[in-house]
Amino acid sequence: MDYGKVNTSAAKTQIESFDKSNHLFDLGLPNPFQLLSDPIAFFRAAAEAQGPVARIQFGSREFVLLNDPKIIEELFIHYPSSFEKFPRINRTRGLFGEGLLTSEEPLHLKQRRLAQPAFHRDRLSDYAGEMVAATTRLTGGWKAGETINAAHDMGNLALDIVSRTLFSQQTDSQAEQISAALDEVVKTLNHLVTPWGNLLLSIPSPLRNRYRTALKELDAIIYGFIAERRMSAVEHTDLLSMLMNAKDPDTGMGMPDLQLRDELMTIFVAGHDTTANALAWTLYLLSQHPQERKLMEEEIDDVLQGRPAQMQDAARLPRTVAIFRESLRMYPPVWILGRRALKPVETPLIQLRRGAIVLVSMAVLHRRPELFENADSFVPGRNEPKDRYAFLPFGLGSRLCIGERFAWLEGVLCLATICQKWRLDLAPDAKVEPQPLLTLRPRYGLPMTPTLR
Ligand code: HEM
């Protein structure tokens, strides 16, 4: 399946006109509308037109889209210190502040070491039970034949899982408020890639007001977790306690509250919005490929024999894993990575000037015909690409997703638990189109009808 309503030829014409002349954009009036309205089509066309390295100039800003795994490896693995993360939010601390996703070295490494133990293999087995239980709770509320919004339900499921496993909290009653606030913040954050993004947040406007209100609501949730834990007499070993009890080895001091808030918010959001979309896209793809769905159901029945899934089952469900993997290839929840060159970079494979913004769009890379045969087709278990860095749903290098193993386990156990009992079909009138915001979401939700198997 192709990316919904993609007008590649329009985007291509636009790219070609960038190549021919930049004078429109030199006036400081970039034309990022196409970039905003359909960025994946825009970048796909850029990759098609220019190949491994697509250079796109907006006024004084140079974007360099990398479409070649070797060049990606070169910059992200061998030259990470030449770059900072892009975009950065200058005017406000924003959603993530200086949390793991957005902080720079040396803070990033120090904080990553503190959070890492929560994602060790032995901790995952504690989480597996919660993942299965949460899925059973959710699907217990489904009624055969009654249409659900699977995107919304997967959001609530992933939120429930991250809250219970890493924060020992139940957020069920606040789930609607959290997802509405998050939607608002994410929509605003999307403007930050534009030249006027920071400006938008610095002048009074309804958008800024809604953004600030939503951010306050999310802050209240996170500070609520901290306050409750401080008052609690119960010993916890979760990520929340791990970070709250962490002491700086040099100073012996605990983490300042603001830093703690940034780390918790980052994991809270990054840890559920991503897996939620991965699960939603997988359910969608299964509904479009009944033959694959049948094979997966057979595997699940065979392995589980009617009992609830457990941690060890994840390794016994290769078909389910392959389906989840193929979904991450076709609809990567994190669809783009950005870095800004802090200095001129010159390697045997590429040259960049200081300030150039390097982009890797997994939504583009994972569909490159040179890397994946029949790249637009859903082929679970397809041949691995020969380049290690052709498939990057979890990023790479020092900023590789800390929750990768958590996400694989969650993806496979949730799918197995859902598909053990239910078969989900796309509602007949459903319109499905990817919306690339902070994550790649189904733009109109995902109306699906569950039937009991
Ligand atoms: C299918 C699910 C997921 C996908 C596709 C995904 C994808 C990614 C990607 C691509 C990055 C790298 C971003 C960059 O380099 O700019 C990343 C980083 C990160 N992810 Fe995930 N993620 C997923 C699940 C999770 C989960 C479950 C958690 C936590 C519970 C998590 C927490 C994080 C954090 C904290 C970072 C920043 C790591 C660092 O910079 O050191 N993610 N993720």
For ligand 1, atom 7, the nearest C-alpha belongs to 394
**Residue 368 lies in domain:** 60-452
Query: Which residues form ligand 1's pocket by a CB distance below 6 Å?
Result: 100-101, 112, 162, 266-267, 270-271, 274-275, 278, 333-334, 337, 393-395, 399, 401-403, 406-407
Domain count, the chain: 1
Q: Following CA atoms 277, 280, 286, 289 in sequence, which dihedral angle do they give, to the nearest 10 degrees?
A: -70
Residues contacting residue 377 through CB under 8 Å, at least 6 positions apart: none
Assess if residue 16 is contained within a domain.
no
Q: What is the mean pLDDT of residues 70-87?
A: 94
93-119 mean pLDDT: 88
pLDDT for 271-317, tens place per residue?
A: 999 999 999 999 999 999 999 999 999 999 999 999 999 999 999 99
CATH number, position 264: 1.10.630.10
pLDDT bracket for residue 89 (50, 70, 90): low
The two three-digit tokens of residue 324, written as one number = 């989840």
Q: What is the 3-state secondary structure (H, E, C) of 343-399?
A: CCEECCCCEECCCCEEEECHHHHCCCCCCCCCCCCCCCCCCCCCCHHHCCCCCCHHH
Q: Which atom of ligand 1 is nearest to the CA of 339?
A: 16
Q: Looking at the domain assignment, is residue 196 inside a domain?
A: yes
Percent of the chain at pLDDT exceeding 70: 90
Given a cut of 80, whether residue 159 has pLDDT beyond it is yes
Where is pLDDT greater, at 186 or 375? 375
Provide the pLDDT for residue 32: 57
Residue 14 lies in a domain: no
Nearest-atom index, ligand 1, CA of 439: 5
Split at pLDDT 50, 70, 90, the class of 406 is very high
Residue whose CB lies within 8 A of the most ligand 1 atoms, among 274, 327, 438, for a mutation test:
274
Instruction: Determine, yes or no, domain membership for 357.
Output: yes
Whether the pLDDT of residue 21 is over 60: the answer is: no
Structure tokens at 185: 């913040």
Closest Cα to atom 30, ligand 1: which residue?
271
pLDDT of 366 reads 98
Averaging pLDDT over each range in 2-11, 20-29, 90-99, which range is the top one? 90-99
Q: Is residue 22 a part of any domain in this protein?
A: no
Question: How high is the pLDDT of residue 37?
Answer: 77
Predicted TM-score of the model (pTM): 0.91
Q: What is the pLDDT of residues 192-215, one digit of tens each?
A: 656 566 677 778 888 888 988 999
